[in-house]
Amino acid sequence: MTQENLSFIERNAVLIKVTAISFLSLLLLIPMAMIMSLVSERQSRQTEATTEISSKWGFQQRLTGPILTVPYETYDLDKDNKRVNIDRHMAYFLPENLNVTGEMNPEIRKRGIFEVAVYSSSLKVDGVFKAPQLDISDRHYEVKWADAFITIGISDLRGIKEDIKFKWNDAEMVCEPGVKIVRKTQSRVNEMYYDSGERKEIMIESGVTINKPLKEESLAKEYRFSFGLSLNGSKSISFVPIGKETIVKLTSAWPNPSFDGSFLPENRNVSSRGFTADWKVLELNRNFPQKWNDTEIEFQSSAFGVSLLLPIETYQITERSMKYAILFIVLTFTVFFFVEIMRKLKVHPIQYVLVGFSLCLFYLLLLSLSEQIGFGIAYLVASAGIVIMIASYSKSIFHNNRLTLILSSILVLLYGFLYILIQMQDFALLMGSVGLFIILASVMYLSRKIDWYSIGGKTKDGVE
């Protein structure tokens, strides 16, 4: 190496060092990406375990109904007064009142190391239908009162644990599996309709049906209904407000509920012993009518209910903590760089790499330990192990107990700050911004007296 080249390297030693450290910091994002991929893989396995348990116990449950459906036919008359161009239609009616009172009994089921929140629920449903009044504009029609039926939508029938005893004006009626609220596409051929077999716009995909609740010769002014439902499910339960006034009351021993859907409870009480919640939804609050003909209605967007949250979603919170990995790497490298500049020590790039790998190893330890012993203890053990390892290694580099203690204290503060940050979902952005401001201000303050020009063998006036 010539003298000219050597002097160039010496003059730009700080810039070269900073460039090398920056490159190493970016290079360490590769193992971080691999760990992030591992988090996603473990999250997928958790989803598979959840699906496996739910497929045997019951998936998330949604109750829709009861809905009263009355078929009718419209037709034309030919010159011989025979019916032609016969079309079959459906008239749908919703109850005036719908009252649901229920209790959820939650428990934790495990598949390997993965946990799933499941529940068994006991629901009591009652309400009132007014006598159906059909709005038919066609001149010729016939109402098929004997073919009327009631539909109760239950999203996963495997969760039903007892027979449903449906009472209709005190008469007990039989519930049959399956739903009929499905309109099939029809086509006109030679003035006749035929069924093309294509299913379209399913309002209720799964549930039970009660056949022949109405008789033309004995139509009542109103119909009272009630039924009990023992239903198993997992993670959440929800309700569609099909009543002109819908009232739902739920109680449970689960201490971590999440009230979601289109409507929040009017009253709720959450404690370590469980929760109680009351909803009241009016016809005006939702986006579908009390009765209609033929048109398919989208119910699901109006549903509301509660989800059973596990105390800490390990993979989500681990993924959140990994977003701050570059901050840990840069700050730790900054400490080593300042010690190198101020104490005129030489820290080899390999030593930077080993320290960087130690910081990456923290997240792998956190992921693996939190699956076994819980996130809080796993975070303490993983951070303590990494701090001790980096402190011991830095002592062999610095040969100074005071500098080692300073580095250890900085790491402890960083890990403590990160733990607080990932626990505060609502204020994470604010706390992160304030923390970065303080860190940058501290670095600027500590480096204010460093003469960067003199490090390269020159003064800031350019004189050697």
Tell me how far apart the alpha carbons of residues 54 and 156 are, in angstroms, rounded to a whole number.
10
- List, in order, residues 6 or more apart from 295 with CB less than 8 Å away: none
Query: What is the rounded distance in angstroms from the CA atom of residue 208 to the CA atom of residue 185?
Result: 23
Question: Residue 355: its pLDDT value, please?
Answer: 84
Look at residues 17, 107, 94, 127 and name the one whose alpha carbon lies nearest to residue 57.
107
3 state SS of 106: strand
Closest-CA residue to 224 (of 290, 150, 162): 150
Could you count the other beta carbons within 10 Å of the beta carbon of residue 433?
A: 10
Calpha distance 176→158 (Å, rounded): 14
Q: What are phi and psi of 78, to 5 degrees?
A: -85, -170
What is the distance between the alpha carbons of residues 372 and 368, in angstroms, rounded to a whole number? Answer: 7
In degrees and rounded to multiples of 5, residue 141 shows phi and psi of: -155, 165
Give the H/E segment covering residue 461.
none
* pLDDT tens-digit profile, the chain (464 residues): 444 554 555 556 667 777 777 888 888 888 888 888 888 888 888 778 778 877 788 888 999 989 999 998 888 887 777 878 888 888 999 999 999 999 999 988 877 777 788 899 999 999 999 988 888 777 788 888 888 999 999 999 989 998 999 999 888 998 989 888 765 444 333 333 333 333 344 578 889 999 988 876 667 788 999 999 999 998 899 999 999 999 999 999 998 898 998 999 999 999 989 999 999 999 999 888 898 888 778 888 899 999 988 766 677 778 878 877 887 788 888 777 777 777 777 777 888 888 888 888 888 888 888 878 878 888 889 889 988 988 888 888 877 788 888 888 888 888 888 887 777 766 666 777 777 777 777 767 766 666 655 655 544 444 44
- Please classify residue 198 by burial: count the beta carbons closer than 10 Å to its beta carbon, then call 0-12 exposed, 13-18 middle and 19+ buried: exposed
Rg (CA), the chain: 34
- Written as six digits, the tokens of 338 are 């300042």
Tokens standing for residue 378: 């796993």
Q: How many other C-beta atoms can be found within 10 angstroms of the C-beta atom of residue 122?
A: 15
C-alpha separations of 280 from 45, 245, 457 in Å: 38, 7, 78
For residue 210, how many other CB atoms are within 10 A of its CB? 22
- E strand or H helix that includes residue 397: helix 375-398
- Torsion angle of alpha carbons 73, 78, 81, 85, nearest 10°? -10
Q: Where are the beta strands (DSSP E) in 253-399?
A: 257-261, 267-271, 274-282, 291-293, 304-308
Using an 8 Å Cβ cutoff, are 94 and 82 in contact?
no
Enumerate the β-bridge partners of residue 97.
128, 245
In the chain, the N- to C-terminal Cα span, in Å, equals 21
Enter the pTM of the model.
Answer: 0.70
CB 256 within 8 A of CB 196: no
pLDDT at 231: 93
Task: Name residue, tokens 């739910």.
Answer: 54
Q: How far apart are CA 410 and CA 160, in angstroms?
A: 56
**Structure tokens of 25?**
């910091």
Whole-number Cα distances in Å, 163 to 117, 212, 230: 25, 19, 8
Under DSSP, is residue 35 helix (H, G, I), strand (E, B) or coil?
Answer: helix
Helix and strand counts by DSSP (H, E) for the chain:
10, 20
Coil/strand/helix, residue 273: coil
Dihedral in degrees, nearest 10, Cα atoms 371, 377, 383, 388 = -120
pLDDT at residue 13, as a whole number: 64
